[in-house]
Amino acid sequence: METNEPLVRVRNLKKHFPIRRGIVFERTVGIVQAVDGVSYDIYRGETLGLVGESGCGKSTIGRTMLGLYPPTAGSVNIAGIEVTTARGAQMRLLRRKAQMIFQDPFASLNPRWTVSAIVGEPLRIHNLEPDRQRRDERVKELLELVGLSGRHVNRFPHEFSGGQRQRIGIARALASNPDFIVCDEPIAALDVSIQAQVVNLLEDLQTQLGLTYLFIAHDLSMVRHICDRVAVMYLGGLVELAASDVLYEHPLHPYTQALLSAVPVADPKVARKRQRIVLQGDVPSPINPPPGCRFHTRCPIAQPHCAQVVPEWRQAQPDHWVACHEVEPKQGF
């Protein structure tokens, strides 16, 4: 990871979805607070992991960052482009510099298009290869770059396996020569035997092309392997952010501790010595989140003030951010 100015800056990002009812006279009856006040940086050349329970807002963050969802509030700056205000030429430039790899490799590919048309579409839209013959050659180069044969350009998505389809999605994301890629659970829909291959491919491409990733995932073991830093999300907000090894070895937030205690360990001796933290109750609804700290309804160390005051997002240790009233800053920091 390069220690330079952040390639991506996210500040107080919010995304709320209104709940509407009625056919003729539509009215708003509630708001889903999918993402509520998230801030972080991603540095050029690094991989930031984003983990948390299903429904906590991870995928919404990724889509809002790229402008696929209009943000409710806050700002996102990618490679000097303010996403929230980008229009016209600025938005087209953003589409070149930032791409996305989707979770479902079949649903994200047009079943009526050949691989040549799918991977070549960014080249055509951004006018990167106006010549048809040169564009076809570039498509073959991209397919070979992700481990597929250039002879398969005239095949359709249904003629490939799940892992091969995801490689096609990766090739499409690389076609516009992006700087930043949001990987929205890119291995979740794949067989376990294929997941490691795709992750290794992403790592090789990052080294070869100098890419920067936001890696959204459920598999905490895989996240530790591929990510430089990891952010933990709960009910629309971040609760902890630190370097990967630091977070896994010394988690500070009670939710992170519970999350990591559920990660399987191959060594049975180590597994028997570990303390499993089982959280009580269910995740509150993002339509009506609890006041104060959103985790206090399930937190084993919650105090009365946790239900009243929203915890500040602060550095408890060098480069280790946490949102918890009960975590004391490191002495001398």
pLDDT range class, residue 192, cuts 50, 70, 90: confident
DSSP state of 174: H
Q: How far apart are the first and last CA of the chain?
A: 24
pLDDT range class, residue 188, cuts 50, 70, 90: confident
Report the range out of 130-134, 149-153, 281-285 with the highest average pLDDT. 149-153
Return the amino acid letter for 238: L
Task: Give me the pLDDT at residue 332, please.
Answer: 55
Q: Enumerate residues 6+ apart whose C-beta is below 8 A from 307.
A: 290, 291, 292, 293, 296
Task: Give me the pLDDT at residue 333, please.
Answer: 54
- Provide the whole-model pTM: 0.91
- Sign, CA dihedral 136-139-141-143, equals negative
pLDDT range class, residue 271, cuts 50, 70, 90: low
Which of the two residues, 30 and 60, has the higher pLDDT score? 60
pLDDT over 90 percentage in the chain: 67
What sections of the chain are H helices per DSSP? Answer: 58-65, 89-97, 115-125, 132-145, 162-174, 192-209, 220-226, 244-249, 254-261, 268-273
Give me the CATH topology for the region 6-253.
Rossmann fold (3.40.50)
In this structure, which long-range contacts are made by residues 269-277, counting pairs with CB atoms below 8 Å and at least 24 apart in sequence? Answer: none
Domain extent listing, the chain: 6-253
Write out pLDDT tens, residues 3-21. 478 999 999 999 999 988 8
Helix axes 162-174, 115-125, angle to 10 degrees: 20
Write out pLDDT tens, residues 59-112. 999 999 999 999 999 999 999 999 999 888 999 999 999 999 999 888 899 999
Return the amino acid letter for 84: T
Write out pLDDT tens, residues 133-182. 899 999 999 999 999 998 989 999 999 999 999 999 999 999 999 999 99
Q: Is residue 25 predicted with pLDDT exceeding 90?
A: no
pLDDT range class, residue 270, cuts 50, 70, 90: low
Q: Is residue 2 predicted with pLDDT exceeding 60?
A: no
